[in-house]
Amino acid sequence: MSRPPWFIDELAFAGRENLDPKHVARYDEKEDAGAAEEVALLRRHGLSGDSVLVEFGPGTGQFTVEVAPVCAHVVAVDVSPVMLRALREKLDGHPRVELVQAGFLTYEHAGAPADVAYSRLALHHLPDFWKAVALERIRRILRPGGIFRLVDVAYDFGPGEAEKRLGAWCAEYGEGADGTWGRGDVEEHIRDEHSTFTWLLEPMLERAGFVVENAERSGVMSAYVLRAA
């Protein structure tokens, strides 16, 4: 589909590491998505064997693999061809999972509205203007009453606290190694990614047509269960 010249290049905002085959190959060693707990949470909020779920930013697919057996169909949408290649190998042709190379702003949903949308550690790749556009697009693919589970870095403090709070976050990490996140990874995230404040993100969610059913804010990480109005 042709895009206007002012439209964002989502691949350029995918994050350096997510286009790096070496990083992708060791991602599962460094990151635990808590996939089983996430699936259990969604089942408590209505995910069933008849559900259609759209996942934005599946990465290497820890959640994708866990959720596929308990719903009817999963559409895994990722802008990174490297991540999708790793996920395709892991799925080995799973019949309930459809892989789509696209992003929040370019995915075109076909068929009946989805019952569930899921995104973990992906929305922060977009600047706030584009986050707002993405959230409205996610709402449009969901049926009324559908669930959106969003987990991401969203800062639950004010700008005046940023230096102290972000410095403390960085200080929690050491030098890092192939199997761990290091201080440099966190510094790169703060510097180069587009994580926002909760007090900016939450009005975006409400304006997009979501009702916040549950919010967990830990200062840096935030997790939401959202209902499509």
**Segment 17-45, tens digit of pLDDT:** 898 888 888 888 888 999 999 999 999 99
**Segment 148-162, tens digit of pLDDT:** 999 999 999 999 999
**Segment 199-223, tens digit of pLDDT:** 999 999 999 999 999 999 999 999 9
For the chain, the domain total comes to 1
Question: Is residue 51 situated within a structural domain?
Answer: yes
**Segment 39-85, tens digit of pLDDT:** 999 999 999 999 999 999 999 999 999 999 999 999 999 999 999 99
Question: Is residue 88 situated within a structural domain?
Answer: yes
Question: Is residue 188 situated within a structural domain?
Answer: no
Question: Is residue 189 situated within a structural domain?
Answer: no
Domain of 62, in residue numbers: 10-157+197-228
Q: Partners of 224 in the beta sheet?
A: 150, 215
Question: Is residue 183 situated within a structural domain?
Answer: no
Predicted local confidence at residue 55, as pLDDT: 98
CATH of residue 111's domain is 3.40.50.150
Residues 6 or more apart whose Cβ sits within 8 Å of residue 91: 61, 64, 65, 68, 97, 99
List C-alpha distances in Å: 120 to 2, 27, 112, 175: 28, 14, 23, 25
Question: Is residue 164 situated within a structural domain?
Answer: no
pLDDT band at 118; cut points 50, 70, 90: very high
Question: Is residue 3 situated within a structural domain?
Answer: no
pLDDT band at 227; cut points 50, 70, 90: very high
pLDDT at residue 103 tops 90: yes
Question: Is residue 182 situated within a structural domain?
Answer: no
Given a contact cutoff of 8 angstroms between Cβ atoms, the answer to whether 115 and 146 are in contact is: yes
